[in-house]
Amino acid sequence: MSTRTVLHEADIARALTRISHEILESNRGPQDLILLGIPTRGVTLAERIGALVSEFGGLAVPVGSLDITMYRDDLHRHPTRAPQPTQIPPGGIDGRTVVLVDDVLFSGRTIRAALDAVQDIGRPAAVRLAALVDRGHRELPIRPDFVGKNLPSSRDERVNVRLAETDGEESVTIEGH
């Protein structure tokens, strides 16, 4: 099995900076924005993007987390998935632009589950998607509004995102045969 690094620490930082600027531009500023990270690494990425958007936009942007475990359609395949906390910032999501943040977009099933979870929490004005890596292979008609890196890969390869907060290092790697 071979592993190659496709993003290093500086590449990840640049991608998050670009995503943050694109979010601000798309929303015409930081007003009424809320970022919701999908556990585990999506939460860390949302916190980083939130700090950058707040810095560039001059207004604090609320960041929360959105557990999608019970909304997944593949629990029968992954029954050991432990629920993570959902934390919605004060004021809720009604009438706001929600940006869902995840580390890797693959089949689109995680985001479908996240959309169901958002619908149970409130009624946002709009929902957008930010992903550090888009590797293709969609099974559902879902695409990111903001993407750090498009990374074509085969189905039998594995994309690993490692972040300092959860893994002690920063990289995106592809493992394949």
**Domain boundaries along the sequence of the chain:** 2-73+84-176
**Domain over 2-73+84-176 is classified CATH 3.40.50.2020:** yes
CA neighbor of 172 nearest in space, from 148, 156, 154: 148
Strand partners, 49: none
Question: Nearest 5°: phi and psi at 16?
Answer: -70, -35
**Tokens 């930081």 — which residue?**
30
Q: Over its length of 177 residues, how does the chain's per-residue pLDDT go in tens digits?
A: 899 999 999 999 999 999 999 999 999 999 999 999 999 899 999 999 999 999 999 999 999 999 998 888 776 666 566 788 899 999 999 999 999 999 999 999 999 999 999 999 999 999 999 999 999 889 999 999 999 999 988 999 999 999 999 999 999 999 987
Strand partners, 109: none
Q: What is the pTM of this model?
A: 0.94
